[in-house]
Amino acid sequence: MASNIATQTPADETFLHSRELLESLFDSIPGAVVVCDDEGRIVQVNAEVENLFGYTRTELLCQPVGILFPERLHTVQLGYGHYYRQEPRRRAAGAGLELCGRHKDGREFLIDVLRSPLETEHGTLTLSLIRDLSKREPGEALRFHLAALVNSSGDAIVGMTMDGIITSWNRSAERIFGYPAREAVGKPISMLHPAGREDEKLDTLESLKRGETINAYDAIRRRKDGENIDVSVTISPIFDPLGNLVGSSKVMRDITERKRLQTELENSRAQAVSTARLSALGMMAGSIAHEINNPLGVIHASASDLMEMAEMGSVPLPALQRTSTRIKRTADRISKIVKSLRQISREGSADPFQQASVAEIVEQALELCRERFREHSVRLDTPAIDPELRVFCREVQIAQVLLNLLQNAFDAVTECPGEKWIRLEVTGHEQSAVFAVIDNGPGVPPNLKARIMDPFFTTKPVGKGTGLGLSLSKAIVEEHGGELTLSEFEGHTCFSFSLPQGAAKCN
Amino acid sequence: MQLKDATVLIVDDEPDWRAIIRDWFEREGCRVLAAENGAEALHLVRTNRIDVVVSDVRMPVMDGITFLRNIKASESYKPSVMFITGFSDIGPGEAYDLGVEAMMAKPVERKDLISAVTRVLTSRDELWQQLASLQPDALLAASFASLATALSQGLLAFGRGGFRIHSILNLREGPVDLLLNFDADKRTVTGQGIVRWLATAEAEMGVEITSIDDNNRAWIIGLSGANTSHSFIPCTTSSATAAR
């Protein structure tokens, strides 16, 4: 430096050794320089310190150096001052630490500090070269930030060359895959592919070349310990400043836990649906048992009567005729109920779509609730249905839907005292038949209307409803190309849906 | 009362069933009335002198339970009531507490029904003399400081046909030998009964008495007659729920 000056200006020993030169050199250093004594007090600052921190030189002299840093960081940032004295050599103070300076106005900004010991006859002075990263070196601050971000991310972030050789490996990658960075960097990324799929090549190169990001897809990757884990992968291209594709970054999120929970959730939902089906069947079984038990009692008693007469030695013909007729008639009643039960309790979801008589479907559903409605004084209105009316459907499922709607209506009307009725009507239109179940119960509260067809939503007490009836009914109707809707009919609750007549195409 | 002298009211919504048991009772010489629901039956109870009602529980218009409550609440005389239930319509705890004197489930045998109605018509004094008619394989034994403390602490409560007792004995529903000791009263009651319901969580059970030893029969009849609620076997609300 001195020789440069020597060539540009006339040699002047006095000038070169003058205090003015030293001071102006000190002030022209492109960085803030702070000199402290071994007590940490500022003994000299250059002009840049005034610029950077907003204090005048006079304000800073003799002040503790901490005045330039936020108080909360004193222990972190100044603690090493002591450490430094134990090991007096040049070192970057900020290595691995994001340092922070404080302006006189309180504003904080990122800095980088380089310190040097300066032995003098007055003791050891510390010379700190402070650079304002936020203003003067934005790239560096950014890199500093990015490195911290990458390392603090919970996702594995891996840099690769275009050949798939790993160039960077963050801490989460170490944690997730079990390889420390020193083992992973330089290896092919395919080491993470499950056994037997090391060659797995994703058709990603073309997309990357076009600068496109490959959005998250699920994949299986292998840990160092050989265990396979589920990951979600996102790949983005990396370009150099000239726009050349030089590599790619892979962000991999460990979704093993999410997958496990998802599977668990799906299992428990399937379980719930199956339990609900069973419990719906159970509830129906209870009411069917009751429907059957009455006629069974009649048969049992009639048969006992005949046996007693036989034991007495004489069965009068009129008694025999009367009693056997009663037994036959009652047994027929039971077999009708059982037939409906057999029909309706079938799964039915795999049945083919067929032309089916509406009147017969309705009869199947009614057979299973007529007795119960009668016993609870629920009047059942079923306006005559055109016997020719046919719809294209899975008969069993539609009967199930009707039974479900009738059951809901029954639960609604039996809630309140007074006259109770339920109407099941079917009207034929040109292309379709509209089924409607109307009841004079208290109605669905407006705030619940939007939710009643959601799975697991129930308004019934624990143990009574499954919360699946309406959602399953809705799904069945939708599979038939119809829509289950809740409306009001002359002020009463009305659930209705339509089915296509004739052999319309359905999914 | 003899069965042949009794007026029986059949309440059931099943016409065939009404016809069959009407025939059964008429063969025994009873006067038989029939109704197809509780409301009709209530009208017949008011306009006739009925000795025993044999009623279904689930019926349109008015069910058996409402009908029973109406009888117990308002009528000047109280016919005995027995229920023939279709399918878990009412629990025994609740039914006996309401005053039902016998319960049977369909299908029922003619002989069983006739003998149940005969028992219902028999006075307690006569009924509880029939010693050792059952062959229980269990013993319900309990000892109390005195009758007064047992009653006041709710450990024991008498109805017109039996009692509710607090007991941690692990018994099942069915016949039991009875051994109830009351220290201060210097009484040891022996006899037989039938456990009609169990409320295990509450350690309570309901027992119908079938016989009581000669020395204590009158004493127990006095206690059972003191129940003005017409409960057959009393039941607390919690044990009624548990016994369902």
pLDDT in tens, A31-64: 889 988 888 889 889 988 998 899 999 999 998 8
Shortest distance between the Cα of A295 and any Cα of chain B, in A, equals 8
Task: Characterize the bridge pairing of strands A228-239 and A214-222.
Answer: antiparallel
- Give the contacts of B89 (CB within 8 A, at least 6 positions apart): A290, B57, B58, B64
Residues in a beta bridge with B241: none
Q: Answer with the residue of higher pLDDT: B192 or A342.
A: B192
Cα–Cα separations (whole angstroms), residue B121 to A412, A455, B126: 42, 55, 10
Name the helix (H) or strand (E) containing A403.
helix A395-413
Please name which of A499, A272, A490 lies closest in space to residue A402, comparing C-alpha atoms: A499
Of residues B86 and A308, the one with the higher pLDDT is: A308
Domain A260-343, classified CATH 1.10.287, yes or no = yes
A363-378: pLDDT as tens digits: 888 887 787 788 788 8
R_g of chain B, CA atoms, integer Å: 18
CA B220, CA B51: separation in Å to the nearest integer? Answer: 24
A-B contacts (CB, under 8 Å): 60
For the domain made up of A31-141, give the CATH fold. Answer: Beta-Lactamase (3.30.450)
pLDDT at A82 (0 to 100): 42
Q: Which helix (H) or strand (E) holds B178?
A: strand B174-182
pLDDT in tens, A128-162: 888 877 665 556 667 777 777 787 788 899 988 88
Spatial distance between the Cα atoms of A218 and B117, rounded to a whole number of angstroms? 75
Residue among A329, A398, A322 at smallest CA distance from A360 = A398
Q: Do B23 and A377 touch (CB under 8 A)?
A: no
Whether residues A326 and B16 touch (CB distance < 8 A) is answered with yes
Residues of chain A found within 8 Å of residue B13, distances taken between Cβ atoms: 374-375
pLDDT of residue A85: 43
What are the boundaries of each domain within chain B? 3-122, 139-242
Question: What percent of chain A lies above the pLDDT cut of 70?
Answer: 78
Write phi, then psi, for A375 (nearest 5 degrees).
-65, -25
Please give, rounded to a whole number of angstroms, the shortest distance from the CA of B125 to a CA of chain A.
33
CB within 8 Å: B86 and A293: yes
pLDDT of residue A162: 82
8 Å CB contact of A301 and B21:
yes
Distance CA B89, CA B98 (A): 14
Taking an 8 Å Cβ-Cβ cutoff, which residues of chain B contact chain A?
Answer: 13-14, 16-17, 20-21, 23, 58-61, 63, 86-89, 106-110
Confidence (pLDDT) at A96: 36
Q: Which amino acid is at A272?
A: A
Question: Per-residue confidence at A328, pLDDT binned at 50, 70, 90?
Answer: very high
d(CA A366, CA A403): 7
CB contacts of A302 in chain B (<8 Å) are 16, 20
**Residue A282 and residue A304: Cα distance in Å, rounded?**
31
pLDDT tens-place string over residues A241-250: 677 788 888 8
Tokens describing residue A255: 């979704």
What residues in A contact B21, CB-CB < 8 Å? 301
Q: How confident is the model at residue A80 (pLDDT cuts 50, 70, 90)?
A: very low
Residue B131: pLDDT band with limits 50, 70, 90: low
Report whether A23 contacts A16 (CB < 8 A).
Answer: no
Query: Which range among A38-42, A238-242, A297-301 shows the weakest confidence by mean pLDDT?
Result: A238-242
Tokens 């309706």, located at residue: A344
Q: Does residue A90 register a pLDDT over 60?
A: no
A394 contacts A352 by C-beta, under 8 angstroms: yes
> Which of A294, A304, A375 comes nearest B109 by C-beta?
A304
Query: Quick one: pLDDT at residue B200?
Result: 81
**Could you state, in order of their start, the residue ranges of all structural domains in chain A?**
31-141, 154-254, 260-343, 346-507
Phi, psi of B204 (to 5 degrees): -125, 155
The predicted pLDDT at position B88 comes to 62
- CB neighbourhood size of A447 (10 A): 7
* Residue % of chain A over a pLDDT of 90: 9
Tell me how far apart the terminal alpha carbons of chain A are, to the nearest angstrom.
87
* Among candidates A289, A299, A375 on the partner chain, residue whose Cβ is nearest the Cβ of B13: A375
Task: Check for a shared fold between A154-254 and A260-343.
Answer: no
Interface ipTM above 0.85: no
Helix (H) / strand (E) containing A228: strand A228-239
CATH-assigned architecture of domain A154-254: 2-Layer Sandwich (3.30)
Q: Which residues pair with B164 in a beta bridge?
A: B157, B206
CA atoms within 13 A on the CB side of A7: 3
Which of A94-98, A150-154, A467-471 reaches the highest mean pLDDT?
A150-154
In sequence order, what are the beta bridge partners of B34? Answer: B10
CA dihedral A180, A181, A184, A185 (to 10 degrees): -170
Give Dmax over CA atoms of chain B in angstroms.
56
Judged by DSSP in three states, B197 sits in: strand
A92 beta partners: A114
Q: Residue A176 has which token pair? A: 């997730």
> Nearest Cα to A250, choosing from A167, A178, A152?
A167
pLDDT band at B7 (very low <50, low <70, confident <90, very high): very high
Q: Which residues contact B54 (CB under 8 A, 6 or more apart)?
A: B8, B9, B10, B11, B21, B82, B84, B113, B117
Q: A28-37, B50-59, B126-135 — which is least confidently predicted? A: B126-135
In this structure, are residues B86 and A293 in contact, taking their beta carbons and an 8 Å threshold? yes
- Residue of B10, B14, B20, B89 to mutate when probing chain A, most A C-beta within 10 A: B20
Query: What whole-number distance in Å separates Cα of residue A152 and Cα of residue A146?
Result: 10
Q: Report the predicted TM-score, pTM, of the whole model to 2 decimal places.
A: 0.54
Instruction: Mention the CATH class of domain B139-242.
Output: mainly beta
Mean pLDDT over A288-293 rounds to: 75
Q: Would you call A296 and B23 a contact, using CB atoms and an 8 Å cutoff?
A: no
Among the residue ranges A195-199, A215-219, A431-435, the one predicted with the least confidence is A195-199
CB-side exposure of A28: number of CA atoms within 13 Å? 6
Bridge partner residues of B102 (DSSP): B82
Looking at the domain A346-507, which fold is it? Heat Shock Protein 90 (3.30.565)
Look at residue A281 in the predicted model and tell me its pLDDT. Answer: 63
**Residue A277's pLDDT is what?**
60
Q: What is the mean pLDDT of residues A277-286?
A: 63
Q: Place domain B3-122 in its CATH homologous superfamily.
A: Response regulator (3.40.50.2300)
Q: Indicate the pLDDT class of residue B76, thresholds 50, 70 and 90.
A: confident
Q: Are the Cβ atoms of B14 and A298 closer than 8 angstroms?
A: yes
pLDDT value at A11 more than 70: no
What does the alpha-carbon distance between residue B199 and residue B169 come to, in Å, rounded to a whole number?
12
Buried/exposed code over A359-374 (b: 16+ C-beta within 10 A; e: otherwise): bebbbbbbbbbbbbbb
